[in-house]
Amino acid sequence: MKPSAPITHDLLTIPRTLPSGPVNLIGMSRAVMLEKLLEIGTPEKQVKMRAAQLWQWIYQKGERNFSHMSNLSKNYRELLSEKFILDVPKVISKQCSKDGTRKYLLQLAGGHEVEAVYIPEEGRGTLCVSSQVGCTLTCSFCHTGTQKLVRNLTPGEIVGQVLIARDDLGEWKNLNGANNETRLLSNVVLMGMGEPLYNFENVRDALKIVMDPEGICLSRKRITLSTSGVVPEISRTADEIGCLLAVSFHGTTDEIRDKLVPINKKWNIETLIKALKGYPRLSNSERITFEYVMIKDVNDSELDAYRLVKLIAGIPAKINLIPFNEWPGSPYRRSEWPQIKKFADIIHRAGYASPVRTPRGEDIMAACGQLKSETERQQKSKKEITMEAGI
């Protein structure tokens, strides 16, 4: 019998950076870029302007070929291409769902794969970004959690997903003058593969570029980071990133949550709620989203709904009900629609917004929790999954 995966890994064992190679300017903070440009001999009095020009080419025009950067001298362009690269993950395949959702399978340096998903909606378009290859956590309802291979994505690989989606949407040429409301890619959610708060620094550095007015330029309120409940990093998210927060809640007793979201054994419901109540940016305009996956006969009773309302009392919140998305071998079933409706009504009556998330891109396995690298799709046996879920 195989031992089940540990609840967490020592964060230090997961490298933050990749083995060295040519220096990639994509994902590099402005401060580091200034240093690197000075190192290659850029005159000190020009260096800020050069960095600003590079940022504009990379993040506002989508250019990844130094030789096309027409406002830089030919010699300087040659020097840049000798010393640096502009690298994003390689798109291995793209699938389009009948509902317009697009899923990209991306290959990273070293051959690992992740997925990113673009979801068009009325008046906005959201890119769901991955932060790790696989996930060290083993939530029993999540396909990503069955993937064994794990490494952190670099800031360049995280920002790179946004650049790739913009390439595919053909949005670069239409960006001039477009504001957040008219952009095709107007929102970013850290809800792809991985636990973003177990790759905190890289996620933070990438999101700083996404939010920077000279970078991708999305307002911090258009970025939502979803965590399974890594309590010690929650207040840092407000202080050092400032984006909106979503929490994968999914269970209203420790007994249920231990099984669904095993990180609960480390930081239980009480500890998590306490951390959320102390979330520095909490207000009615910046509510925390409680994600709640609806699993038939596991966490979808009316009693669960009442308990949920009681637990989150006093926290400015909205509750996002996610009908469980099945994947091959998954040990659970989606709650019946009338049950989801009953659950939603209880929450609604208690004064909370309780949108039910319409499953998107299910036909291409792009819905929440269905992501997994293609090379890893060979399944664990049903028995193995059921044993890990403790059911």
Q: What does the binding site for ligand SAH look like in residue numbers (CB under 6 A)?
A: 141-142, 191, 195, 226-228, 248, 291, 293, 322, 324-325, 368-369
Cα separation, 157 vs 135, in Å, equals 16
For the bound state, the minimum distance from the C-beta of residue 128 to ligand SF4, rounded and expressed in Å, comes to 11
- Interface residue with ligand SF4 among 26, 137, 218, 273 (CB under 6 A) is 137
- Interface residue with ligand SF4 among 145, 155, 156, 215 (CB under 6 A) is 145
Query: Does 135 participate in binding ligand SF4 (rule CB under 6 A)?
Result: yes
The answer to whether residue 96 is catalytic is no
Question: Quick one: tokens of 289?
Answer: 């989203």
For ligand SF4, the closer CB: 265 or 310: 265
Cα separation, 348 vs 344, in Å, equals 6
Question: Catalytic pick from 128, 139, 142, 368?
Answer: 368
Give the one entry of ligand SF4, ligand SAH, none that residue 322 binds, where binding means its C-beta sits below a cut-off of 5 to 8 angstroms depending on kind.
ligand SAH
**Which class for 295: exposed (0-12), middle (13-18), buried (19 or more C-beta within 10 A)?**
buried
| Position with the least CB separation from ligand SAH | 369
HEC secondary structure over 36-100: HHHHCCCCHHHHHHHHHHHHHHHHHCCCCCHHHCCCCCHHHHHHHHHHEECCCCEEEEEEECCCC
- Contacts with ligand SF4 in 233-252 (CB under 6 A)? 248
Residue 217, Ramachandran bin (φ over 0: left; ψ between -120 and 50: alpha; else beta)? left
The answer to whether residue 139 is catalytic is no
User: What phi, psi does 170 have (nearest 5°)?
Assistant: 65, 35
Give the one entry of ligand SF4, ligand SAH, none that residue 325 binds, where binding means its C-beta sits below a cut-off of 5 to 8 angstroms depending on kind.
ligand SAH
Which of these ranges, 5-13, 56-64, 117-125, 141-149, lies near ligand SF4 under the rule CB under 6 A?
141-149
Give the E-state strand segments of 243-373 in sequence order: 244-248, 288-294, 317-323
Which residue numbers are catalytic?
115, 368
Which positions touch ligand SF4 (CB under 6 A)?
Answer: 135, 137, 139, 142, 144-145, 194-195, 228, 248
